[in-house]
Every structure is written in C-alpha cells, then in structure tokens.
Structure 1
Amino acid sequence: MKDLHPVHLRRIDPSQNMRRFYSISLQPTLFGGASLVRDWGRIGTRGQSMIETFDTPIEASDAMTRLERRKRRRGYLDPQVSRSGRRE
C-alpha cells in the first residue's frame, strides 16, 4: 500500500455561514484489503463517518486520491492555509 497519510481538509465561507471539515484515511483490513475511512461535518461537531472497504490497498489509495481531488476542486483546503494562500 502506498504510504498515504491521513488528509484533513476544511472549507470556511463566512458569507454562506459554512464551516466544514473533511478527513480521509486508509486502514488495513484483516484480509489483505484496505478500508477508506471518511469523516465529515460542521467544524465543532462530531460529524458523520463512512467506511468503504476495497479488495486491494491500491484500489483504496486510488479512491482516496480521487476523493481528495474532488474535495479540493469544491473549495476544501488544508487547515493551516487560508483562502489567500497564507498560513494561519
């Protein structure tokens, strides 16, 4: 399995009263596969979780990469970077 670290993203837009987080990580399964674990919700709340299991770690890491790319296109950023591109 590629050494993918957990991804933590957030999307903050005061004009829409939006303060959301999205986390993605990979977990190995007991049978040689991998699970993609997603957590999301409003910042400051517990949010929701979903676990999707794949037969191979490569499939799981590909799904993680696609999901991260999709969230970034929708405006989610790394927590330490503001909209202007400066670190907070």
Structure 2
Amino acid sequence: MMAGDDNKRTAERKTVKKPVEFFVDADIIQAESVDLSSTGIRMTTQHPIRIRMRIYDDDGGFSEQVAELVWASKEAPLTSYGFEFGPDPEAE
C-alpha cells in the first residue's frame, strides 16, 4: 500500500454483480438511542449488527456467509452497505 493511501481493505476487491439475499438472525439486539426526530433515529449498539447472506452463482448455487455491518451510505435513490465476513457462530 502506498504512503497516504486511506484504503483500509486487507483483501483485493473485484467488481462483481451477483444476486444476494440477506437476513438478520432472529436475535433481539439491544441498542441505545443517540438522537430522535419525527423521521428517524440514530442509535448505538455494543456489538456490530450481524447478518447471514447467500451470494448466488451464475449456475444457481450459492455460498453462505455471516457478516457484520461496518458502514452504510445513502446516495439517493440507493443505499450502499459494507459488510465484513466473519466466523459462523452456529458452526462453532
């Protein structure tokens, strides 16, 4: 990595367009509000929000990953999310 490069990625990225399904585990997540308005809320959690996702291949197969939300960015009309893959607690 070059000096002054703010890229924090530890693995090479490739541009890939594949269908993805994701779902939040059925756990109840505790949070605390930071600020509140009539149109939304900002809140904090002790732990990252964990999801399970399926990334589909062209042949219809898929890989399943567990990931934690690490960032979100809204640029109308789309919202982008960054997730970091991690271990599957159900596999341990």
TM-score using structure 2 length = 0.30
User: Greater strand share, 1 or 2?
Assistant: 2
The structure with higher relative contact order (CA 8 Å, sep 6+) is 1
User: Which structure dedicates a bigger proportion of its chain to helix?
Assistant: 1
Larger radius of gyration: 2
